[in-house]
Structure 1
Amino acid sequence: MKIRVATYNIHKGVSSIRSTPRVLALKKAIGEFGADVVFLQEVQGRHDRLSGKFGEESRGHRHWPDASQHEYLADDLHGHAAYGMNAVYDHGHHGNALLSSYPIENSHNHDVSDHAYEQRGILHCVINTASSPIHCFVVHLGLFESGRGRQTQALIDCVNASAANGEPVIIAGDFNDWRNTLSGKLRDALGVVEVFDELGKTSKIGDLVRNLSGREKIIHPARTFPAALPWFRLDRIYVRGFKVDTAQVLHGTLWAKLSDHAPIVANLKLA
């Protein structure tokens, strides 16, 4: 079985410069992924201010949908959506979401907020495919390294509790792990691989030399932030039970206008 997945921080549906509404353009762009499952971060479940400002028709066009963003983005593209509310404020809320062309059997949002000023969550969904149920975890970790360490342990505990028998797992999202301190911990605890690292494996001889010398395997996630000129390696896709066929970061003018993060798309094959 082959499955195409994508992860994308959509910046609450507004551009990173001047906060121009981009939800309608995002829907079209996400459709261009051709992905079966899309992991989204910073999704507006409700935003009364932006809805009031951009929801009215202007020059024959509406710039903000009536529905919540995850419902709007899933409509006609994937058909199934789940949302995990993380940050709540007077005029609305936002969080993580999963869009899927496969039925979502169940979903649960785990609150992993490390302090009151930065609400974070891990959205766990089980999707039903013809070959096997797949555990999907949509992740958005905090800005502080110490908090990310605790949130990563919460992620490990969550995966081990729900997929303890080696079931197929996809973990994707915005890890804010620009120094790449978490990949080794996830790999050792869960048996996952990061898609770009899997594609960049060295030869067997290289692996043997590295093992004999005691050197750890080097992980090379992709550069995804800022989208206009990606430099920081913030976004990841980790998998277990899959072979990685291809993985790429989508660059260019279109993606630079839509969000401050560039999306990652990967083609996987169930092992």
Structure 2
Amino acid sequence: MTVPTNPHREPPAPQLLRVATYNIHKGVQGLGPTRRLEIHNLGLAVEQMDADIVCLQEVRKMNRREAEYFRRWPDVPQADFLAPEGYRAVYQTNAFTRHGEHGNALLTRWPVITHQHEDMSDHRFEQRGLLHVEVMFQGRPVHAIVVHLGLIPGSRVRQIQQLQRFIEREIPPGAPLVVAGDFNDWGSQLKRMLASYGLYEFESQDASTLTYPARLPLAQLDHVYVRGLTPLGLHVPQGRVWWRMSDHLPLIAEFRF
């Protein structure tokens, strides 16, 4: 039996993937006795982003000193606290400190297939890592890697080289891939390196994608690069409510399959 085709049938709607990346500065702003707890406001902010995948850096799993200082310190790790209803939180520690530990996290409204962590520390003064999470987005696997690169230029170059080796080893060549996070890079060297690996970001023509410092942005330290997806645009929320919550502004990107 032959099923007749409809020549007037609408083509399938494109699948849009919305990704956000945000360095949350451990949920606290300011120093000393004047510092303030922002984790509750950050929870509302993450919900407002309405992203399929949220990549977070400087996320605390625990901190005994801050838990004693702030009366409203959450009873659960920050990744779990920030996850909106219906989202899954995946967290891995990068750095162990005197009072606790912190690292990268990924929040997603889609099913998580697998996740893993790799140490990216380049020297003993900076503890860094990558978080790799595979999610099932509308029936298709998508790989997402959350990074927070080092402060020293040479370290960042070596970490990008390590990232490429990880991708070659762990992710199938044709699989859609998102690499997002705080790259700590004020130039274009890393962008050129990532392009040589087939990873690209939407190219904005103005200064609207600057993310750091939050109060008066001068540079885009936060990025969302992809492979196998079409970048559609970037958006950085503006206003006092945003720059009060962290020293970075969030970056929101949309992509089409």
Structure 1 counterpart of 2:254: 267
Describe the superposition over 1:65-101 as per-residue Cα deviations: whole angstroms up to 9, x where unpaired.
100000111141x420111101102311000000000
Distance 2:173 2:91 in 1: 26
Structure 2 counterpart of 1:207: none
Q: 1:119 aligns with which of 105, 119, 127?
A: 127
Residues 1:139 and 2:181 aligned together: no
Structure 2 counterpart of 1:41: 57
Q: Is the 8 A contact 1:194 1:221 kept in 2?
A: no
Q: What is the aligned residue count?
A: 241
Distance 2:169 2:238 in 1: 37
Moved over 4 A (4+): none
Q: CA deviation at 1:34?
A: 1.0
Q: CA deviation at 1:4?
A: 1.0
TM-score w.r.t. the length of structure 1 is 0.85
Q: Which runs of 5+ in 2 are unaligned?
A: 1-14
Structure 1 counterpart of 2:7: none
Q: 2:219 aligns with which of 213, 216, 232?
A: 232
User: % of aligned pairs identical?
Assistant: 40
Structure 2 counterpart of 1:157: 165
Residues 1:194 and 2:181 aligned together: no
Q: 1:100 aligns with which of 80, 101, 108?
A: 108
Q: Is the 8 A contact 2:143 2:175 kept in 1?
A: yes
Q: CA deviation at 1:221?
A: 9.4
RMSD of aligned Cα (Å): 1.7
Structure 2 counterpart of 1:51: 67
Q: CA deviation at 1:243?
A: 1.5
Distance 2:183 2:104 in 1: 13
Structure 2 counterpart of 1:64: 73
Distance 1:226 1:260 in 2: 6
Q: Secondary structure at the match of 2:244?
A: helix
Q: Secondary structure at the match of 1:230?
A: coil
Q: Secondary structure at the match of 1:158?
A: helix
Distance 1:156 1:251 in 2: 33
Q: CA deviation at 1:130?
A: 2.4
Distance 1:246 1:95 in 2: 27
Structure 1 counterpart of 2:118: 110
Structure 1 counterpart of 2:3: none
Q: Is the 8 A contact 1:46 1:94 kept in 2?
A: yes
Residues 1:22 and 2:38 aligned together: yes
User: What is the one-letter code of the residue matched to 1:19?
Assistant: R
Q: Secondary structure at the match of 2:215?
A: coil
User: What is the one-letter code of the residue matched to 1:39?
Assistant: C
Distance 2:23 2:110 in 1: 21
Report the structure, 1 or 2, having the larger helix content: 1
Distance 1:155 1:19 in 2: 35
Q: 1:221 to 1:115 in 2, by over 3 A?
A: farther
Q: Is the 8 A contact 1:222 1:236 kept in 2?
A: no
Q: CA deviation at 1:179?
A: 1.4
Q: 2:230 aligns with which of 243, 247, 270?
A: 243
